[in-house]
Structure formats: C-alpha cells, structure tokens
Amino acid sequence: MNVEKIYDKIELQTCDCKSGQRYFDSFRNMFVHMTPEEKVRQKTCLIMSGKLGTPRESIRIEDHLVHYGVKDKNGRIDISITFFDAEGNERPLAVIECKEERIPVIAQQVKEQAAEYASCIGAAYFIVTNGIEMYYYHYNEKEDIYEAIDGLLTYQDMLNNNYSVVEEGSIFTRLAYEEYYDIEKLKQYEWSYQKIGEDTKDKLIPTIINLDDCLLDTSHRLEQLPSKKYEVIADLGEQYRKYDDASGGGFGSGVYRVIRLRDREINKEFLVGFTIITTGKMICDPKYGIYDGKSVLIIMKNDGDRDEMSVQINMNKCLIVKEKKSTMTHNALITKKGKSKKGLLEYIQSRNKELVEGNDIILGTLDCSKSLYMNSEDVSKFLGNAIEYAVYRDEYKNS
C-alpha cells in the first residue's frame, strides 16, 4: 500500500548537537544520527503510535533478538510491537523492518529478513516499509506461512486478528487486444490513457499502451534473457519507486516492473526496472519555456551503490511504428559534462555492436499484431537490449 502521503505529513524533531544535527528519538529519549533509514524508522514509530493506535510503551526500537531468548542468532529488530497476554506477560505481536526510500520493500530478501525475525521471536505479524510503501503479513499456522494482508492494520486490528488476506494470484486485467487500436475507446480508460503524452501521435498509442499493459501484467514473468552476459534471478513484479529530477519535481516516480539480475562476467547482482510516464505540455512556462507533452519510457538501475534513472526514452521521437511492427530506438544523447554522444556510441559499439545503427541505438522490434507479454521472444529480446544499453551507458557516464 502506498503510504507516502501519510509519511510526508510527519515532521521529526531535529536538534543541533556538538557533533552535528541529530533526530531526537522521543521513544528512547536520545539523539540519533540522521540517516535515510533512521528517518523512516522514526516516522514509522510516530505513525504506529499516532494514526494506528499503538501504545508508546509497546514500541521497541532496535530490539536485539537476545531480549526474546534467541541465543543462536544475531540481529536487531528495527521496531518490535508487544502486547500483554491474559496472564499479564509481555509478548511480541509484530516486527517492523524499515528500509530507506530507495530500497524496494517488496523485494524477496527484505520480506525474508522480516519473516525470519518474526518467526524467531514468535510474532504473529511482520511489516515492511520504506516510507513510500507499507505491507503487513500475518502468520498462518495451518499452512506455516506468512500471508499478505490487505491495507493498514491498527494495533487493535492486530490484537483482534481483524484482517483480510490478499487473494493469491490476483492478475492485472489488461485491455482486449482489439481495444489498443480503437483510439476513441482507449480515451475512456483513464488509467491507460494517462500514460499518453498530449503531443504523442495517435499511431504510437496502441504500442505504448500494449507495452504498458505488458509491464503491469504479472501473470507472465520474465524468466530468462537472450543474453550470455545477464542471468535473470527473479522477476520481482511491480514496485513503487521514488525519484526526483534536477528541479525536485519528482519526475520518474511511479510503479516500475523490476527485474533482479546477475552480471555473469563480474558475478554482481543489480536491479533494473521499466515504467512509462508522461511529461506535461508547457507553453511559455517561466521556468521551462516550451515543453512537449511526451510519453516516456524510463529504465532505472540500482546496483546497491547507485539508484537512478539510467535512460529516458522520448517515445514521441524514438518509437518507430510501421504497420504493426514497432521499433524502439534511442538517440544516445548524454548531458554529463565531459561526455559526448560520439564517445557513448563508440563505447557501446565496443561492448555490443549490434545495439548501434548509424547515430542511434536500436533496442528492438516488438510484434504488435498481438498482446505483448514479458516472456515472449520479442519482448525479452527488447528488454535484454535495453538492460545492456542502460548498463553500458552508466559505465561510460561514470567512467
């Protein structure tokens, strides 16, 4: 569940200390370092005690596992929530794993860490949050699994087991193939048509919405790429990710289809994600001047050190549609000081010459005579090329 607006309303106490600015933790009555993860942790405590009705005395921060009698494992629980049973004994109710905003909490490793802590101390619930998304899970004793819970639960909801399990196998309902080519009917589907920039030509719209549906349809998973360099570890499905452009406008924030990969050459893992968003049309804007309404395909990359939008493809110009074959290109423009389009093209040619054609990057051709799916040959080839381009572009840019 997206909780960004809830978190944005919370203001933390900051204090000037001898060694610099610190947050004041009102639960432990101490100053703490101002890190991105601590920001999420402090706000989560305030939301749990305020909006969700958890007694302050039931909230424990950075609680060591040994406090719960766990002697064979090390680790500290970001936040634990307790309750008193009928005999007056304090018992664990939930553990909360907090991550900074750039780390997707829907990732399997984050959930596994939280589930392990909850299992170790016997908590019925675990919660994961990064200040943008928050998800609850409840232990199903019969199945011996933690099940995803719908929405946010209050403290009393958890005590009373007042929750609804998210239905397994919920599938994104995409448009019927024929509807991609009925432009007037498409305009009735606001959730689809909002991915279309105001100046995007009609002939490009069927491909863009077909591709967007493909990215949102988690009933089909990307299992492998036609690439010797990259191995697909997992298709992580949809994740909300937050980015900011140079003006702080939040451009690039949205729901991405995220893939976890391993670079076989250097045995390193990283994440790549894809989303389609629009830019608003502007005429004589005092800050931006004249700006077209574009449909933009964004490729993000997170290697653990950097989390950034690697490529922004203006599909108004870079998508070439001939009948029902759609070729995605990129002009290879790069704005970083000391780097050039010519240098980028030469670098990519040295890594994979098949990506370069003249002065452009060719990412692949999609067969839009049918619905696109993540595991179809043309889509997986396009995604593989796009991933390589994003990686090589970053290598050149940061070299």
Q: Which CATH number characterizes residue 121's domain?
A: 3.90.1570.30
DSSP H or E stretch at residue 349: helix 341-351
Write down which residue in 159, 194, 223 finishes a domain.
159
- List, as one string, the DSSP characters of 96-152: EEE--TTS-TTSHHHHHHHHHHHHHHT-SEEEEE-SSBEEEEEEETTTTEEEEESS-
- The residue whose two tokens read 């995007």 is 200
Write down which residue in 159, 185, 200 finishes a domain.
159
> Predicted confidence band at 285 (pLDDT cuts at 50, 70, 90)?
low
Both 257 and 339 in one domain: the answer is yes
82: in domain: yes
Tens digit of each residue's pLDDT (9 = 90 or more) over 55-73: 999 999 998 998 888 887 8
pTM of the model: 0.67
Decide if pLDDT at 246 tops 60.
no
Share of the chain above pLDDT 70, in %: 93
Tens digit of each residue's pLDDT (9 = 90 or more) over 184-222: 888 777 667 788 999 999 999 999 999 999 999 988 999
Comparing 102 with 150, the larger pLDDT belongs to 150
The lowest-confidence range among 134-138, 246-250, 365-369 is 246-250
- In total, how many domains does the chain have? 2
The number of angstroms, rounded, from the C-alpha of 300 to the middle of its chain's C-alpha atoms is: 9
Q: Which domain holds residue 378?
A: 177-397
> Predicted confidence band at 107 (pLDDT cuts at 50, 70, 90)?
low
Over residues 20-35, the mean pLDDT reads 93
291: in domain: yes
Q: How far is CA 316 from CA 123, 185, 250, 310, in A?
A: 51, 21, 21, 19
Write down which residue in 127, 159, 191 finishes a domain.
159
Decide if pLDDT at 247 tops 80.
no
374 in helix, strand or coil? Answer: coil
Could you tell me which of 46, 44, 13 has the C-alpha nearest to residue 30?
13
